[in-house]
Amino acid sequence: DTGVSQNPRHKITKRGQNVTFRCDPISEHNRLYWYRQTLGQGPEFLTYFQNEAQLEKSRLLSDRFSAERPKGSFSTLEIQRTEQGDSAMYLCASSFQEHGDYEQYFGPGTRLTVT
């Protein structure tokens, strides 16, 4: 499968614990995005990387959230001291920005439940 992959697919954690999610984009895609989706809503932008540089962060990304893409390939999203309001689907997408090709390909998401 050459699409975007995310791990784990599901995560249940207790409030106050830290969690880390991984995203593997489509090979050679230079842009990687993180979105959050709550039930019944469309995805909301969190942050994006071009290669290894994090170029933009949403106001939704509090200081408990941190994202990295150390080698410009896979990315991790860490949430520290999780809260019940963090329960959501966390989606990763990637794209190859060239000649006006903007299409973002999404992964299956990681569903986080904070108890």
Partner 1 sequence: GESVGLHLPTLSVQEGDNSIINCAYSNSASDYFIWYKQESGKGPQFIIDIRSNMDKRQGQRVTVLLNKTVKHLSLQIAATQPGDSAVYFCAEELSNDYKLSFGAGTTVTVRA
Q: Report the residue from 26, 66, 72, 106 that binds partner 1 according to the rule CB under 8 A.
A: 106
Distances (CA, A) of 93 to 33, 47, 71, 82: 5, 11, 17, 23
Judged by CB under 8 A, does residue 63 bind partner 1? no
Which residues face 110 on adjacent strands? 90
Judged by CB under 8 A, does residue 72 bind partner 1? no
Judged by CB under 8 A, does residue 105 bind partner 1? yes
SS3 86: helix
Number of residues that bind partner 1 (CB under 8 A): 25
Q: Report the residue from 11, 21, 31, 61 that binds partner 1 according to the rule CB under 8 A.
A: 31
